[in-house]
Structure 1
C-alpha cells in the first residue's frame, strides 16, 4: 500500500505537468511522457523483481547513465557527496591534511600538508593505514576511507598504521578545517625572476596571487613566471580577478554564452591593474584546464605575456549548481567560455560521439582563426596553444612500472628510516653506491613489469597458436621475447638516470614535503629554464609577442 501511495505521489505532478506542457510544446510533452514511463517501470521492477533492490542505488545509476549521454561535468550530487563537492569548490574541509591512496592493496600515506594535524600527531609519509577508529580498512575503497577520515572540525579520530615493517602505531588526530593553499610555492630564481605556482582557483586565489607578486617584487623580481601546470581550474570570479591584475581596467576578460540570457554574461576588469609591464611567462600543460585556460588565454589574447609548455586541456564549458530535493544538487553545464579574441577553448564535441560513446575532437578543418591584440593568429576548438612548445620528458615503461608498482615509494620509506637527515633539496643526490643498493633490493622484490610491447607480443603469440597458417611464427616470437627480456634485465642500468632522479625526489619528499620537491626540480625543469631564458631576453620576448 505504501509503495502504491508513493507511486501516485510521483505520478500526480507528472500528469499535471504533462497536461500543461502538451498544449505548450511537444518537447515538454515528450519529457513528461518519458518520466511517466520511467516511474511506471520503476514501480513494476520494485514490485516484481525477484530480489530486493536498493532504491537509492538504482535511481542514482539511472540518473548517472542519463547524464553520461551529455558531458562529464554535468553530474548529480546526492546528499552524501555534498561535503566533498564543497571541498572542491572552497578548498576547505574538516580533516587531518594527508593525501592517501592504494598501492598494491595497501592504503598508504603518500603526502601531507605542512603543519597538518596528521604531521603534528606524528603520522609520516609511507605509513600504511590499517584501521580508523578501530575499524579495519581492509577491502575499502579510497573513497570509503576518505569519508572515514574527513569529519567535523574539532572531532578526534584514532588512526592505526603499520610503519616500515615494525609493530602497529595508533595516533589520535584532531580534525581541523584544512585549507588547501592556492599558492603551492613561490621563490626567486636566477637572481631576479619571480616564480610562483597556483595550484587551485579556490576562494581568495586572486588575493593570494596579488600578495605573491607583490612579495616577489619586493624581493627583487624584475620578471615573472606564473605556473599553471596541473591546475584543473575552479572559481570563475577568481580567474577574472587574477586576469585583472595584469590587464587594464575595463578590458574584457571572458564571456559566457548559454541557452538563456541569465547564462550569457560578460566579465570585465573592474579594478586598476597590479602590473602592466613586468615581462611574464605563463606555464601550462595538458592538466591546465578551465579557469587556468581563461587566465592563460587572456594573457595570450592581450599579448601580455608568453605562454610556454604544452597545449592545455581544452575545457571551455561553464557549470552551475542547481538545488534539488532532499539536499541533493545538480551540477549542470549551462554555457561556453569565450575569451577576448572571441575564441572558445573547448576541445571535445559532446554533441557528437563515436560508436563507443566517446566525444569527438573538433577537426582542424572546422577550427576558426582569431587574432590577439598584436594581430597574432590563434585558433579555437582545442585548448590554449603555447607560444613556445616544450617537449615533455618521456619515461621508459621500465621506470613507470617501478613507480607504479610502489618500489620507488617503498625504498624511499626504507631510506628515510635509515638516514636521520639529508642535504638540502637543491643539493641532495644519491651516490652510485646508494643507487646500487636500491638496484639489488629491487632484484629481491616481486616486480610485475609488463611493457606494452610484451603485451602485444603475447597477443600475437596467442593468435599464432590459434591459426596453423601462422604457427611457424612462434619461433620468431620466442626469439623476440628473449631479446625483450635481455633488454629488461639491464633496465636498472639502461635507465639509471631517470630512475635515480625519481628516487631522489621521493626521498626528498619524506624530509621536505612538496615544497622540497619543487625546490629540487625547478633548476632542471625544461619549462622553467625556457621561461627564464625567454623573459630575460628582451628581443626574443618582444619578437614572440609581435609576430
Structure 2
C-alpha cells in the first residue's frame, strides 16, 4: 500500500505523542495509561495496515476511531476533518454558495430543492422548491452507491464555492401533469448569511413581536437590536421574543441580547470547567435599550443553549415572563480548537451558570448506564434556586416556563405525510396551478383543496404504520407465549376491529394539523420563512397566551413577584 504524506504524518504524531508521554514517571498512573494506550493504538493500526488482507483507507479508519472515541463524551464534542467547513460556518453564519435548502427526494432517488432562501442567488435565479438536481457544472448528481445522506452531502459540496464563481445546474422541474421538464440555470454564488431575525412586526395595537431563529451568527444581536428599536418607533409598548426552535449559538451574542433589557455591569453567565482557563464571567457591557418595557419570551423543547441563556437569565432577573413549554436543557459550553492539517474540533470545556446560580443541563453524560445510554436528570433530583426577587426556579432540566401552554399533539400520521413527501408534493402541484396566492393573512387551505389532497393520497396508495396496531400485535404475541390468548381471543378480535386502519377517519380527525402543515408549505414557496411565521401566527396558542399576559398588567406583575405566603 502507498502511504500518503498526511497519513504518515498523522501516525508519526500519534507515535511522538506516545513517546513524549512515556517521559512521565511511571508512578503517574494516568499519564502512563494514556501513553500505553496511544502506543497500543499506533501498533494496532500499523499491524492492520501491513497484514490485513485488503487495503484499508487510513483516513477513513482513523476518522472512524476518532468518532468512536468522541462518542464516549457528549453529542456536542465533534471532530471536523480538513475538508469539512461546518465549524467555521457555524461560528460565522456565513458560507459561499447559492443559498438553498436541499434534501434527498426518495421518489426520484435524487436531491431536490426544498427552499431557496429569500434574497439568495438561488431565489434570484428562479430556482424553485421541487426542482430535481441532475447535474452541477457537468457532474452527474445521481445516487450511485451513495447513501441518501452521502448524496445530499455530495450535492451540497458541489453547490458551494467561493463567492463570485458560477454554478451551472441542470434540473428537472415538475409540471401540472406530474411529469418533469429539463431546465438549465446559471447561478453566481454569493456569500450566504443566515437571517437570525426572519420576521418582526406588530402583533397587536402596541405589542411588538421578534422571531429569533439562531444566535450562531457573529453580530446577530445587532439584527435583533435593529428590530427592537424599529418596533418601539412603531409604537410598541411591550415585546414578545420568540425563541421557539432556536438551537442557540454564541454565548456572547446571548449576553448582548439580555443586555438590551437589563443594566450595564450585570452578571449574566459564569462558566466553570476542569481547567482554570475554561472559567469565565460574562457581564453586560453596554447601556440597555429599555429596562422597563414589559417582556414575554416564547420557548419550547427545541429552545436550547444560548437561547436558554437568554430566556433563563431574563427569568432569573425577573425581567420577563417565560411562556410555552420546558426548554431542551443544554447547559454546556463548546470551544473550537484547531488541529493539525487544517482539521478542527469543537470541545465541551465547561458548564454555564445563569444569574440565580443554576445550571440547566438536563443530561449528565459522565453518568452512563451499563449499555452506554444516558437519561435526563429526574425532577426529584433537581435543586431549588431563587430569582432576584426570590421566586423559586430549578436547575437540571431546562427552563420551566412561568406560564405553561399545553403543547399540541403531533399525530403519528403527520410524520409519514412529511417523511413520504406527500405534503411537499401536494404543495408543488398547488403552486403550479396557483402561481399567486395573495397575502398570507387572506390565504387558507379550503375544503376543496383538502379533498384534492385526500384524492392524491389515495391515488398514491398512501399507507402508514399505526403504533396502536403494532402494540396490539406485540401484545397478542406475548399473550400467546404466556398462554393467555385462549381466554382473551374475543376481546382481542373486538379491539382489532376497532383499530382497523381507516385513512379517511385519520385525515378527518387530524385535519386541523394537516391543513396547517399544507398551508405552511404552500406559503413558504411564495414568502419564504417570513411567510411560514405569519401563517403560524394565525393560530398560535403560545403567542395568544403571551399577548394575554402582556395585556394583563396586574397579572404580569404578579407572575414576576414572590407569592405573599412565601
In the alignment, is residue 52 of structure 1 matched against residue 47 of structure 2? no
Change (3 A) 1:310 1:12: closer
Aligned to 1:254: 269
Q: 1:378 to 1:106 in 2, by over 3 A?
A: same
Sort the Cα spacing of 1:7 and 1:362 in 2 relative to 1 into closer, same or farther, 3 A.
closer
**1:240 and 1:267 in contact (8 A); partners too:** yes
How many Å separate the matches in 2 of 1:540 and 1:30? Answer: 60
Any idea what SS the aligned residue of 1:408 has?
helix
CA 1:61–1:7 in 2, change beyond 3 Å: closer, same or farther? closer
Q: Distance in 2 between matches of 1:406 and 1:29?
A: 55
CA contact (8 A) 2:116 2:127 kept: no
| 2:453 matched residue in structure 1 | 438
Q: d(CA) in 2 for partners of 1:100 and 1:8?
A: 37
Q: Matches of 2:271 and 2:316 in 1, distance apart?
A: 17
Task: Within 5 Å, give how 1:56-135 maps onto structure 2.
Answer: 56-81=59-84, 83-104=85-106, 105-135=109-139
Instruction: Report the Cα distance in structure 1 between the residues aligned to 2:101 and 2:16, rounded to whole angstroms.
Output: 46
CA deviation vs aligned residue, 1:279-309 (integer Å, no higher than 9, x gap): 0001111111110011111100100010111
CA distance, structure 2, for counterparts of residue 317 and residue 505 of structure 1: 33
**3-state SS of paired residue (2:67):** helix
Which is worse superposed, 109-118 or 457-466? 457-466
Residue of structure 1 in register with 2:25 after alignment: 22
Deviation string, structure 1 residues 351-377 (Cα, Å, up to 9, x no partner): 111233222322333311110011000
| Equivalent-residue separation in structure 1 for 2:503 and 2:8 (angstroms) | 67
Number of the residue aligned with 1:515: 530
CA contact 1:398–1:488 (8 Å) conserved in 2: no
Deviates more, 1:401-410 or 1:374-383: 401-410
Query: Within 5 A, what are the aligned runs for 1:2-401?
Result: 9-10=12-13, 13-14=16-17, 16-22=19-25, 25-81=28-84, 83-104=85-106, 105-139=109-143, 140=146, 141-164=151-174, 165-201=179-215, 202-401=217-416
Q: How many residues align?
A: 546
Structure 1 pair 429–11 and aligned structure 2 pair: CA distance change class (3 A): closer
Describe the superposition over 1:484-531 as per-residue Cα deviations: whole angstroms up to 9, x where unpaired. Answer: 335434223332232222222221112222211211221321111110
Cα displacement string for residues 170-200 of structure 1 (whole angstroms, at most 9, x for unaligned residues): 2111111001111111010111111001111
- Quote the Cα distance in structure 2 between the aligned partners of 1:99 and 1:484: 38
Higher alpha-carbon deviation: 498-507 or 234-243 = 498-507
Worse overlay, 438-447 or 283-292: 438-447
* CA shift in 2, pair 1:427/1:10, >3 Å: closer
TM-score in terms of structure 2 length: 0.91
- For the structure 1 residues 149 and 465, does the alpha-carbon distance in structure 2 shift closer, same or farther, using more than 3 Å as the test? farther
CA contact (8 A) 1:461 1:474 kept: no
- Asked if the contact 2:15/2:38 (under 8 Å) is kept, the reply is no
Residue 539 of structure 2: SS of its match in structure 1?
coil
3-state SS, counterpart of residue 378 of structure 1: strand
Shift of 1:420: 2.6
Q: Flag structure 2 segments of 5+ consecutive residues without an equivalent.
A: none
What SS does structure 2 have at the residue aligned with 1:511?
Answer: helix
284-293 or 496-505: bigger deviation: 496-505
- Three-state SS of the structure 2 residue aligned to 1:352 is coil
In structure 1, distance between residues paired with 2:10 and 2:531:
60
Which range is displaced more, 514-523 or 305-314? 514-523
Q: Deviations over 1:216-254 (max 9, x none)?
A: 000111110011111111111111111111111111010
Q: Structure 2 vs 1, CA of residues 22 and 395 (structure 1 numbering), >3 Å: closer, same or farther?
A: same
Q: Does 1:485 align with 2:495?
A: no
- Residues 11 and 229 (structure 1), Cα distance of their counterparts in 2 relative to 1, 3 Å cut: closer
Greater shift in the superposed pair: 12-21 or 426-435: 12-21
Distance 2:534 2:495 in 1: 43
Q: Would the aligned equivalents of 2:167 and 2:188 in 1 still touch at CA under 8 Å? A: yes
Task: After superposing the two structures, state which structure 1 stretch, 497-506 or 377-386, moved more.
Answer: 497-506
- Name the SS of the counterpart of 1:359 in structure 2: coil
What is the Cα deviation at residue 18 of structure 1? 3.0
User: Which blocks of at least 5 consecutive residues in structure 1 are unaligned?
Assistant: none
DSSP 3-state at the match of 1:506: helix
- Distance, in Å, in 1 between the alignment partners of 2:252 and 2:517 is 37
The Cα RMSD (Å) is 2.3
Distance (whole Å) between structure 1 residues aligned to residue 557 and residue 10 of structure 2: 69
Greater mean alpha carbon deviation, residues 212-221 or residues 495-504: 495-504
After TM superposition, give the deviation of residue 158 of structure 1 in Å: 1.8
Distance 1:264 1:144, change over 3 A: same
1: CA distance between counterparts of 2:485 and 2:18? 65
The Cα offsets for residues 468-490 of structure 1, whole Å up to 9 and x where unpaired, read as 87478677555544433354342
1-structure distance, mates of 2:96, 2:155: 14
Normalised TM-score (structure 1): 0.94
Structure 2 equivalent of residue 545 of structure 1 = 560
